[in-house]
Amino acid sequence: MNIVVCVKYVPDAQAERTFNASDNTTDRENVDGLLSELDEYAVEEALKIVEAGEGEVTVLTVGPEAAADAIKKALQMGADKGVHVSDDAIHGSDAVATSLVLAEAIKKIGDVDLVVTGMASTDGTMGVVPAMLAERLGLPAVTFASELTVEGSTATIRRDGDASTQTITATLPALVSVTDQINEPRYPSFKGIMAAKKKPVEQWSLADLGVDASQVGLDAAWTKVESFAARPPRTQGEIVADEGDGGAKLAAFLTERKFV
């Protein structure tokens, strides 16, 4: 089975994240980055499927030069090879353009049985790219999987909602997005880290995919950040002294701010 896992290199959520003053896009150069945590579940699930049968896992990412670290982490976990689409024209692309580039890259990889993604990226948190990608590829999309079973030419997922649990099946090839409930991603072992150094990683540009630069980037984006401002520093809270009327003071404080 040939599985492609789409992953993203994102700014570390623990770091101080901001935007570039020049174009209001996410600053990815002055902050540490890493493989999106939600994508680790997708990589792990693909590895489990291949280990239970046969096949290979290709990790695909779209991003600047530093995004190679996302592929590196996935290869250390056990993926077989990687594809990195990097082109200056991609900077500022929205979900629509991102899904286009991913789709063309998957078509170029060819002979794909299953595409696996995380439920969303930890920087954008939109969660729309999997559905857009499936539409562009003409594949059935079974999303938000808390459990995934692949038997023969059928993929079956369990989707857990607030009020119900659904079982959904799709005929391969298909696209599946997974939640953080589906597994526990493995840590790269020393053997895996060493083996990753010898695994192939191809680098493609927009020209390699036949994508016109006018279709991607900030100028082609359907949405843009108009302005941004730093979060104001936290101020000291108000201390309510209890002199027998503490409860009344607290109630008045909450009422004034329309909390109650």
**What pLDDT shows up at residue 57?**
98
CB 95 within 8 A of CB 70: no
Residues pairing with 20 in the sheet: none
Q: Is the pLDDT of residue 143 over 90?
A: yes
Quick one: 68 exposed, middle or buried, by C-beta within 10 A (0-12, 13-18, 19+)? middle
Could you identify the residue written with the tokens 């079956």? 156
Q: Is the pLDDT of residue 15 over 80?
A: no
Architecture of the domain whose range is 2-220? 3-Layer(aba) Sandwich (3.40)
pTM for the structure as a whole: 0.86
**What pLDDT shows up at residue 1?**
93
